[in-house]
Structure 1
Amino acid sequence: MRYSTLRHFLDTDRAALTRGPVAMIFAEDDVELATTLRHHRQLGFETTIAFMEGRYALPADLRQKVIRIDFNPRTEGIVQDCVSQINAAAPGQWLYYCYNAEYLFYPFCETRRVSELLAFHAEERRDAMLTYVVDLYAGDLHRWPLAVSLDDAHIDRSGYYALARTDPENHNHPKERQLDFYGGLRWRYEEHIPKDRRKIDRIALFRAKPGLRLREDHTLSDEEYNTYACPWHNNLTAAIVSFRTAKALKTNPGSTFDIPTFKWHNSVPFEWHSRQLLDLGLMEPGQWF
């Protein structure tokens, strides 16, 4: 199932979007692309769309299971535009997006499908879920020069914090139930990260509705979608463990020679289990037990 453009897909196979939830994976390169696609399919996403360049290949086991759309990730604003177009084509459907070498984790994901997570979230009258992008990095950069290794993956166990999200249209007063979250490699190597890209929060799971737009800072045009919880109690949150920042820092000539290792005294091996992220406070089970 391969389409030359997103418009080609929407004109030909829009009905695929009725099988949800829908995962959109944007391939900036082919690093761990196959494992990213398999991980999200195993979580229970009924429809998986890979936006990827034509020169990248998919393994045989994924070719008939993944919708492939030819895509140039270097086009300005293309990810936001693609997500917004899928949103417009699938009203009421739960959507998710991430990049290659990123992996969604949510509470109890080892035994519960993503559809169960979203059904509970919807029962709490929530139409979007906050996700924290938790940086992964290889422990041995001599062996793994791109900083990507599933077997040698590490995360920071501390160093995360939140600041009030101010509203320029309301005299910079804090927005209700919205925070900007920071930490990980974007915090430790902030001198190499543009100021507007240092946040680690992303509204990666949301229910499509007419007129909704994804913005460049990974928030959505409906402010209620950007809240971390409803007014009356805490809600579920999730985490996306991601090699994306580490990979960028090690492929960028301006930063790679300044970083002989990403490890520090707060580095711990990543266990590839939701319990570790819950114990570290990197996601919230809310009322879901």
Structure 2
Amino acid sequence: MDAARALPPGGQAPAVPTPAAVAAPAPLQRFLAAPGEHLKRGPIAVILVEDQTEVAATLTHHLKLGFRKILALSPEPLAPVAPLDDPKGRVLNLIHDTRARDALPRAVNAVIAAAPADSWLYYGYNAEFLFYPFSETRSIGEMLGFHAEERRRAMLTYVVDLYAPDLARDPDAVSMEQAMFDRTGYYALGRPDRQGGFRERQLDFYGGLRWRFEEHLPPDRRRIDRIALFRTEKTLQLLPDHRLSVEEYNTYACPWHNNLTAAVASFRVAKALARNPGSREHIRDFTWRNSVRFRWESQQLMELGLMEPGQWF
């Protein structure tokens, strides 16, 4: 066809539409001042992005679990993640100084204050992956629904340290394909109260890299227990040591039977030990006789006692 005849009346070629500009991420506090419908229904995940390590894998994992909204907090806008399957726009990038002191409790407490009461909230970091019993076939909503039926408003999670088996090949200590973790070496101590006794149904848990390399970690960073799943209350506060301001939230079970617990498979400590000048010169390898390959499945964690189904079968 003659090009001249292809032109519309007036002789002007139609303008080629340009892609709409992507809005810059809002600061967390500005978003929370007017969140609209974003926080109306949970469960909600808050992911603090401290670096670029496995950000896409972290977001994808939690999308698959079924979180209705994932707030990805980062100091700068996240680079576009091409393979991220999020057609409903459940991941929302917000700006927050995740490297500042107490960045985690400040962010989580701000979300608690903004979210409707009784919303289920999860928090974690990039390169951390939540697992709960039967998480491959049951959604996070199903699991938390059962937990709520047992009149529980919070869930104990154990942070299971992951690490690469070969630091020469993976100097940042991160390998999704060959991740290892400790199958033994975990223990619990009674949690002291202010009267010289112990708090009811509360324990301090230890193990993993935090135990084997404890000389490189301050005492307040050695515990592996974290109340990473809980229901919001307007006066509730997350404390810097991963406990909550309401003591019942910090219990591992109700008084009458065992409850569900979950696990967070995390490269965070391995990354820190491999990068910190005070520790990296003293660590040649993270593997030892009790290292096993992580299979990325909940059954393995249940078999080793690192999480429990309680009455959920």
Structure 2 length-normalised TM: 0.89
- Is 1:149 the counterpart of 2:171? The answer is no
Return structure 1 stretches of 4+ with deviation > 6 angstroms: none
Aligned to 2:92: 67
1:75 CA drift (Å): 1.7
Per-residue Cα deviation, 1:210-256 (whole angstroms, up to 9, x for no partner): 10000010000000000000000000000000000000000001101
Per-residue Cα deviation, 1:115-173 (whole angstroms, up to 9, x for no partner): 000000000000000000000000111110000000010010000000000012xx221
Secondary structure in 2 matching 1:255: helix
Secondary structure in 1 matching 2:38: helix
Indicate if the aligned counterparts of 1:128 and 1:226 stay in contact, CA closer than 8 A: yes
The aligned amino acid for 1:210 is K
Structure 1 length-normalised TM: 0.96
Aligned to 1:281: 305
Q: Percent identity?
A: 58
Give me the CA root mean square deviation: 1.2
5+ unaligned residues in a row in structure 1: which ranges? none
Aligned to 2:19: none
The aligned amino acid for 1:141 is L
1:4 CA drift (Å): 2.8
CA distance in 2, matches of 1:61, 1:11: 31
Aligned to 2:5: none
Q: More deviation in 233-242 or 64-73?
A: 64-73
Indicate if the aligned counterparts of 1:140 and 1:152 stay in contact, CA closer than 8 A: no
CA distance in 1, matches of 2:108, 2:77: 22
CA distance in 2, matches of 1:174, 1:2: 49
Choose between structure 1 and 2: higher helix proportion: 1
Indicate if the aligned counterparts of 1:26 and 1:51 stay in contact, CA closer than 8 A: yes
Indicate if the aligned counterparts of 1:163 and 1:179 stay in contact, CA closer than 8 A: yes
5+ unaligned residues in a row in structure 2: which ranges? 1-22
CA distance in 2, matches of 1:3, 1:55: 6
Secondary structure in 1 matching 2:277: coil
Per-residue Cα deviation, 1:45-89 (whole angstroms, up to 9, x for no partner): 010000012154131454844111112122222210110111111
The aligned amino acid for 1:67 is L
Mark the structure with the bigger radius of gyration: 2
Aligned to 1:77: 102
CA distance in 2, matches of 1:219, 1:111: 29
Indicate if the aligned counterparts of 2:24 and 2:77 stay in contact, CA closer than 8 A: no
Please point out which of 39, 45, 54 is paired with 1:17. Answer: 39
1:257 CA drift (Å): 1.3
CA distance in 1, matches of 2:200, 2:211: 24
1:99 CA drift (Å): 0.3
Aligned to 2:118: 92
CA distance in 2, matches of 1:172, 1:103: 36
What is the aligned residue count? 287
- Is 1:164 the counterpart of 2:170? The answer is no
1:14 CA drift (Å): 3.7
